[in-house]
Amino acid sequence: MEQVVVVTGAASGIGAAVARHFGRLGARVVVADIDEAGGAAVAEEAGGLFVRTDTTREEDNLALIEAAVAAYGGLDFVHLNAGIGDGGGFGQDDYDAERQHRVLAVNLHGVMFGLHAALPVLAAHGGGSLVVTSSMAGVGMAPFDPVYAATKYGVIGLVRSLAPTWQEKGVRINAICPGFVRTPILPPEAIDYIVGEGFALAEPAEIAASVAEIAASEEAGRAYVLQAGSAPEPVAFPRLDLVRTDT
């Protein structure tokens, strides 16, 4: 039976590559984005459906999942990929509360809304897989964009905290932490600098193949670092056991 796949932020970059990848595999793909022209074009390439979605609106997330089920009769895999950068810093010249709020709304609240909309439906349709796009900034640091890094740490906390409960219901939740990827989130001058400094730059199609591999695995609650030319590498988080003392 054909998989039903939903991808947010799928008009370009990693999301578009994931949509195309699953389309080539014969899945029924639902492309979600606020970019109507780009999203519709990717949906056509993937042989699927475009649903305009502002992930910062809870009602849009609910409508997206409802549209996927109405069109294709089920739900098997959801990739919550929509994200933006440039939350600014904390100096006098780069502090912008409105810009910070926008990054938080897309990267963190949007993921929360997506999880709330998708998880019960995945469970109700026999289980499945959900992958959230974090970043290497979510397990390291990003001095150039600390607000972005904070949101990417946040989604990993969500994934790890939700995974055990939903795994019991048949839904596997994982995160990906891409390194440098040739996507619109990186301006041309940044790409030139990265390449000039000798850092590896992955193509979106390579990340998409890793996403499909993770989605098909039985793992849950993991965060995988994805870098050019390398297999997905799970992050080794410290084991934190509660300490009990007898009194």
Q: In terms of Cα–Cα distance, which of 75, 80, 162 is closest to 123?
A: 75
Dmax (CA) for the chain in angstroms is 66
- Among 148, 153, 193, 224, the one annotated catalytic: 148
Query: Helical H runs in the chain?
Result: 13-24, 36-46, 58-72, 97-104, 110-124, 146-167, 188-196, 204-216
Q: Which residues contact 115 (CB under 8 A, 6 or more apart)?
A: 80, 130, 132, 158, 162, 173
Token pair in block for residue 177: 């932490």
Give the CA radius of gyration of the chain.
18
Does residue 148 have an active-site annotation?
A: yes
Residue 224 pairs with which residues in a beta bridge? 176, 234
Token pair in block for residue 77: 């895999």
Spatial distance between the Cα atoms of 220 and 202, rounded to a whole number of angstroms: 24
Q: In terms of Cα–Cα distance, which of 101, 171, 102 is closest to 132?
A: 171
Q: Which residues are annotated as catalytic? A: 148
